[in-house]
Structures are given as structure tokens and as C-alpha cells.
Amino acid sequence: MPTEATTPNEATLCARAPMPAESSSRPLVPSIDLSVVFCPADLDHVDALSDGKAAGFIYARDGHPNAAQLALKMARLEGAEAGVICASGMGAIASVFLTLLSQGDHVLLAKGTYGKTTALVTRQLPRWGINHDFFDASDAASLGQGLKPKTRLVFVETVSNPLLRVADIDTLAKLSREAGIPLAVDNTFAPLICRPIEHGATLVIHSATKMIGGHSDLTLGVLVGPGELIEPTKVLASTLGQTGNPFESWLALRGLATLSVRMERASRNALELARRFEKHGKVDRTFYPGLESHPEFAIASKLLKGGFGAMVTIDLGTRERAARLIRGLKGIPFAPSLGDVQTTLSHPATTSHRGQDAQQLAAQGMSEGMIRISVGLEEIEDLWGEFLVGLEN
Ligand SMILES: *Cc1c(COP(=O)(O)O)cnc(C)c1O
């Protein structure tokens, strides 16, 4: 017997999505929108959505509410026009390179850039006929020397890893602008404390996996900049399947809520630890942009506001001594990432710079005795007490 349209059979009832719950009030915090697809009202609506004449979404890989909320917030925080959320920091970085560069083009990459970014530029991009040279981001003159007629992008990090060298963004931006080349800045180590666009940068990238997420429970990347560059990057990121998902975008929004207090506390702890390490007899060298002994202390003091960041590197001289400290720090985990609420340790020689011998490390100013500390929100005296014990090991 045919059923009336108003009383569908159970199978039909089960299969069909419910109407959104009616509410004349709005939720205080964002909902997680997991829908992969959004339903246009009719064909004209598809046209309007596709042509950007109506606001909204069609297919989640191209855009969804949680990514849009996160992109908008990040763009505002960085003083940018627009943003796009990618599946990881590397997704955002790869999308920038592959959008701005074509066969025969040349990119200038700062020495000491994150290992996977360096691998992308030195091992992958040459397969597409894209060439590169390195320059020293703390020495602006070396940028001028590296420029070629086909240079189409300059890429630097605000603060490098693990030496924590600081880029002279103002001067690099001026030189790039004069040459008509966009300057992309990976600002992963310095969210909120540095706003590269105010210093003349064109594009800003974050691995939101780190400080922005803040809890080591999401992998996501952020890119912000002028709309005319973000739009084609969005298309490329979607084409390569590099856009971020709703749940992690939502988690990152939640992380952002406390970013300012986390950065403030972590930076304060880091400065205090760095000062104490510098005076400790068992630490050969301490690297921290907030120490007067740091080679870019003057640049860092102008570039960074409200703190010098959460990262501190110490050099204990040998791998054996680094290993002993890692083993001796019972409450501070060896976890080769960064930006968590708790303090974590990394050993660059066996992780980010794995595969390089002592000589190759030394050529970059590094050693097997280096430990990079991502300082968290613990009580400073608890942290120091544990390091004191660990250093006696
Ligand atoms: C971790 C990191 C990246 C890569 O980010 P993922 O989210 O791991 O892809 C890029 N740059 C810097 C400086 C990083 O620390």
C-alpha cells in the first residue's frame, strides 16, 4: 500500500537527515560542523555560491564553517586580509610553494629552516624544475646577493630551530618588496609575540599543531595573507587534498582561546630558565633570543613583543651528556614536537637533524649535545628543581 508523503516508512525516516534543531538563541561556542556537503537551494544558488556572490559552502574539502572560523580569527590576529586552513603545517607550506612557483622559478630559503621544509625545497621541488639557494635570514645583505631574475619567493622562519636565530624581517621585507617578490614567514615559534605582516611580510604560516593547538592533540596548518594570493592557494590546497578538517579546526579554535595566556606564561618561564641555564656550570651554552648573549638580541627586542617565546636550547657538549639529562628528567618527557602546555624535550641530532654526523652538525653551529626545550606552563621552581637534579646525572 502506498504511504502518504507526510508519513514515510521507517526506512525512509531513518535514512533522511533531520532538519536543524530550531533555536532562536545561538550557541556560545562554535559547533563542530561535520557535514561533508551543504545543500544549495536550487541551481541559481549553486551558481551564486560557486561565483562567490552568495556566502556559504558546498563541499567540505573546499571549505566548511570550522575552517572558515579559524581562518578568519588567524587572519585578524596576524593583520591579514584572508586565510586558509591546511591539513598540517607542511600542507600550508607546500601549498604556498606550489601556488607561487612554476617550472624554471627560483626560491630563496633561509638556512636552518625546518627539516621537512628544507627537504621539500631541496628534494621535491627540483623534480618540478624549481631551483633554490640558501641565505642567512639574520644577515639581510645575503638576501640581496642570492636574488636571481627568476626568484619568485623568499621563505624564512621568525625564529629558527634549534639555534633560535631571529630573522631580520623588517629589512628582509624591504629588500623583497623592492625586488617585487613575496616574503613568506613561518611564524610557528612566535604566534602573537610577532606579527610579521606589520613588519612587511606578505604571507604568514603557522603549524597550528604547535603553540596554537597547544595541547599536542591536533595536526593543522594556517596560511594568511592578501586575498589575491590566498584565493589561488585555497584552490591548490583543495586540489591536492591539503585542506584541514572540521574537528581539528574546532580544536585549534579552542586552543586559540588560551593562546595569549599560554604564550605569556611559557615565555616568562623560558626566559627565567634560560637565565639560570646560562649561569649553570654544566651547561656549555644557552640559546634564547631574550638573553643579551644571543646574536640577534637587538633584532629580537624590536621584533618580539610581550616575550621571547617558549623555546630554549642548551648545549651539553656530548651526546652522552644529553642522553643522561633526558634519562634523568623523570617528569619532563622526551617528545620531539613543541608548543605543548607541558614542558617537553627534543634532541635535534637524533630527530629533526637525524642522519648528519658531528662535522655536518658543527658546520651549522650545532652539536650532538644539544637539547631543545619547549617550555610549558608549569611552576618555574618545579621545572628548575627537576633540571637541577637532571644536570647532576
Ligand atoms: C612543526 C613545524 C612545521 C610543520 O608543521 P606540521 O604541522 O608538523 O606539518 C613547520 N615549521 C615549523 C617551524 C615547525 O615547527
Q: Where are the beta strands (DSSP E) in 158-296?
A: 183-186, 203-207, 221-225, 285-287
Binding site membership of 219 for ligand 1 (Cβ less than 6 Å): yes
Where residue 1 falls among pLDDT bands split at 50, 70, 90?
A: very low
Distance CA(342)–CA(219), nearest Å, equals 17
Ligand 1 centroid to residue 89 C-alpha, Å: 5
Domain 54-256 belongs in CATH node 1.10.1040.10: no
Marked catalytic residue, from 33, 105, 111, 114 = 114
Give the model confidence (pLDDT) of 290-305 as tens digits.
999 999 999 999 999 9
Query: Do the beta carbons of residue 349 and residue 293 sit within 8 Å?
Result: no
Marked catalytic residue, from 33, 105, 168, 186 = 186
For CA atoms 182, 188, 189, 193, the dihedral sign is positive
Ligand 1 centroid to residue 311 C-alpha, Å: 14
Question: CB under 8 Å to 278, separation ≥6 — which residues?
Answer: 286, 291, 293
| Domains 54-256 and 259-392 fall in the same CATH topology | no
Number of H helices, E strands in the chain: 14, 11
The amino acid present at 44, given as its one-letter code, is D
Give the CA angle between residues 305, 309, 313 to the nearest 5°.
145
For CA atoms 342, 348, 350, 353, the dihedral sign is positive
Query: Do the beta carbons of residue 341 and residue 214 sit within 8 Å?
Result: yes
Give the model confidence (pLDDT) of 16-61 as tens digits.
999 889 999 999 999 999 999 999 999 999 999 999 999 999 999 9
Ligand 1 centroid to residue 305 C-alpha, Å: 22
Q: Which residues of 225-257 are buried (b: 16+ CB within 10 A; e: fewer)?
A: beeebbeebbebbbeeebbbbbebbbbbbebbe
Predicted TM-score (pTM) of the model is 0.96
Determine the average pLDDT of the residues in 226-232. Answer: 98
Start-to-end CA distance of the chain, whole Å, equals 83
The amino acid present at 259, given as its one-letter code, is L
Parse the chain into domains and list their residue ranges. 54-256, 259-392
Of 86, 93, 113, 114, the residue with max ligand 1 atoms within 8 A of its CB, to mutate for a pocket test, comes to 114
Binding site membership of 209 for ligand 1 (Cβ less than 6 Å): yes
Distance CA(196)–CA(79), nearest Å, equals 9
Q: Which residue has cell 617550472?
A: 103
**Mean per-residue pLDDT of the chain:** 96
Topology adopted by domain 259-392: Aspartate Aminotransferase, domain 1 (3.90.1150)
Q: Catalytic residue at 61? A: yes
Torsional class of 319: left (φ above 0), alpha (ψ -120 to 50), beta (otherwise) = alpha
Give the model confidence (pLDDT) of 348-385 as tens digits.
999 988 888 889 889 899 999 999 999 999 999 999 99
pLDDT, position 173: 97
Distance CA(321)–CA(325), nearest Å, equals 6
